[in-house]
A = this chain, B = another copy of it.
Amino acid sequence: MNAIYPADEAHRSGEALNSGATIYALASRIFPLCRSLTGEGVRHTLDILAQYIELERHEVSTGTAVFDWTIPPEWTVEDAFIRHPSGSKVVDFVNSNLHLMSYSIPVQKILSKNELKAHVHTLPEQPNVVPYKTAYYTDTWGICMSHNDFEKLEDVDYEVVIKTSKRPGHLVYGEHVRKGRSEKEILLYTHICHPSLANDNCSGIALLTHLAATLKARATYYTYRFVFAPGTIGALTWLSRNYDRVGAISGGLVVTCVGDGGGPNYKRSRKGTAVIDRAVSCVRCGPDDTMPTIHEFTPYGYDERQFCSPGFNLPVGLLQRSSFGTFPEYHTSADNLDFIRPEHLGASFDMVCDIIEVLEGNWIPLNLSPLGEPRLGKYDLYPPLGGHKSNNTRTMAYLWILNFADGSHSLLDIAERSSLPFSEISAAAEILQDRGLVSSLGRCEI
């Protein structure tokens, strides 16, 4: 088995903090960029990631047909603002790229406050934040601003200026592969099309980048494929270009919204009981060892929608802390660098590492002393004095493993059955193996 990180708890906690800080720093670097489905913001983001990991950049011409879709033109923003007759800009793209609806067409018009209203998006229930809006496949324009700011506007005529272009170019996505001994692949995927939204999804981009960097130094059994691509059209483009080999994907996670303190939440793949689905439920998150809340597959969400479409039906689930759409900061200017925290990013990173550990470290133990319990005290594995009300976790892990190590249960099976974390079962199993109490019947392949 390959430990992604040392088992030593103190060391690990230090590493987690370390990882959290590193991930937060990267998320902060990419936060200001104006990403969208295409364009310079995406390229710039991938440039930064390439400073951390080897990143193969793929460019696919706009206008290319991808299944039922067509790659849209590249969208470039030069400027965007609303100007008061006095000359002062009351909304300015320079202050936040959320102010401009993604894929807005160019405009230069004088409009009354009332005429403006049809193109201004606000959130009356959250009057202080700017919403995030997109219009990828519609020729329209929109300005997003806080409801309070819009309400405060005087009833005069405003100049709206949006200098954007949609021109032929490329859709760009990045790929990083960590070759393992097996050709079976684990897909780690995240979208890179959201502008200045920290949790959704600078957090996911930064976490997977740090994971790729970390994995580099370690041998793995499975091959890990990291894909950084724009939402929907990027996933579809990747699928269309890998059509003949997607069968190698033996499990995968779409990783988004991993920087806040909620959850964790996991939405199962369409298959529902794939190893990845089972693995996630056997890990814990954060200082309180919180169990993930497991949700059945639904066809709405992030790019697992594409991987789980019926023509592919890949074992790919969605991992998040707070679920998208459920926290008030979601898709607003409040999803900023204050909303995500290094300690949460670190805990999410540890959790993904633990999931990988389940996939990598799942073997089938055989109890070599199956007639009754072995006398654990003899191996220094049992408290010397008896009479206690209950037993500690490690002792319970020994007992669960010994009882179910009948050759038909893997460590993952035993973790599920015992409701103990896989890491606990795995650590205990190694000790039992060291003591000669169990042998390994080999890796449990996905």
Q: Which residues of A contact B (CB under 8 A)?
A: 66-69, 101-102, 131-138, 140, 142, 232, 235-236, 239-240, 243, 270, 298-300, 305-306, 308-313, 324-325, 330-331, 367, 369-375, 377-378, 384-391, 395-396, 399-400, 402-406, 418
Query: Which B residues are CB-close (under 8 A) to A388?
Result: 331
Check A309/B387 contact, CB under 8 A, given A235-B372, A369-B68, A372-B68: no
Contact B373 A309 (CB under 8 A): yes
Query: A-B pairs with the 6 shortest C-beta distances?
Result: A311-B370, A299-B399, A299-B403, A311-B371, A134-B386, A325-B389
Interface of A is mostly: loop
Residue of B whose beta carbon sits closest to that of A309: B372
Q: Inside 8 A of A374's CB, which chain B residues have their CB?
A: 67-68
A325 to B391, CA, bound (A): 10
B404 & A310 in contact (Cβ 8 Å cutoff): yes
**Chain B residues in 8 Å Cβ range of A135:** 384-386
List chain B residues, Cβ under 8 A from A396.
298-300
Given known contacts A67-B372, A69-B372, A373-B305, A331 and B387 CB-to-CB distance under 8 angstroms: yes
Q: Is there an interface contact between A403 and B310, defined as CB atoms closer than 8 Å? A: yes
User: In the complex, are the beta carbons of B385 and A138 less than 8 A apart?
Assistant: yes
User: Could you write out 23 A-B pairs with CB less than 8 Å apart?
Assistant: A67-B371, A67-B372, A67-B374, A68-B372, A68-B375, A131-B387, A135-B385, A136-B386, A137-B384, A138-B377, A140-B384, A235-B372, A239-B372, A299-B396, A299-B399, A299-B400, A300-B396, A305-B399, A305-B403, A309-B370, A310-B367, A311-B371, A331-B389
Known: A101-B385, A325-B389, A387-B331. A372 touches B312 (CB 8 A): yes
**Which chain B positions have C-beta within 8 A of A367?**
310-311
Residues from chain B with a CB closer than 8 A to the CB of A240 are 371
Minimum CB–CB distance for A437 against chain B, Å: 9
Chain B contacts of A331 at CB under 8 A? 387-389
| Known contacts A67-B374, A298-B418, A310-B406, then 17 further A-B pairs from the complex at CB < 8 Å, ordered by chain A residue | A67-B372, A133-B387, A136-B386, A137-B377, A138-B384, A138-B385, A140-B385, A232-B373, A298-B400, A299-B396, A300-B391, A306-B372, A309-B372, A310-B370, A311-B371, A330-B389, A331-B389
Interchain CA distance A385-B137 in the complex, whole Å: 9
Name A144's closest neighbour in chain B (CB-CB): B387
Whether the Cβ atoms of A309 and B403 lie closer than 8 Å is yes
A300 to B388, CA, bound (A): 12
CB-based nearest B residue for A405: B310
Chain B residues positioned under 8 Å from A400 (CB to CB): 298-299
The residue among A311, A372, A391 with the most chain B CB atoms within 10 A of its own CB is A372
Known: A311-B372, A371-B309. A325 touches B390 (CB 8 A): yes
Which among A67, A239, A374, A386 has the greatest number of chain B C-beta atoms within 10 A? Answer: A386
| CB nearest to A236 among chain B residues | B372
**Least CB distance, A413 to chain B, in whole angstroms:** 13
Closest to A103 in B: B386
Identity of the chain B residue whose Cβ is nearest the Cβ of A138 in the assembled complex = B384
Nearest residue (CB) in B for A406 is: B310
The interface residues of chain B lying within 8 Å CB-to-CB of A132 are 387
A138 CB contacts on chain B under 8 angstroms: 377, 384-385
Q: How far is the CA of A161 from the CA of B208 in the complex (A)?
A: 66
A270, A385, A406, most chain B CB atoms within 10 A: A385
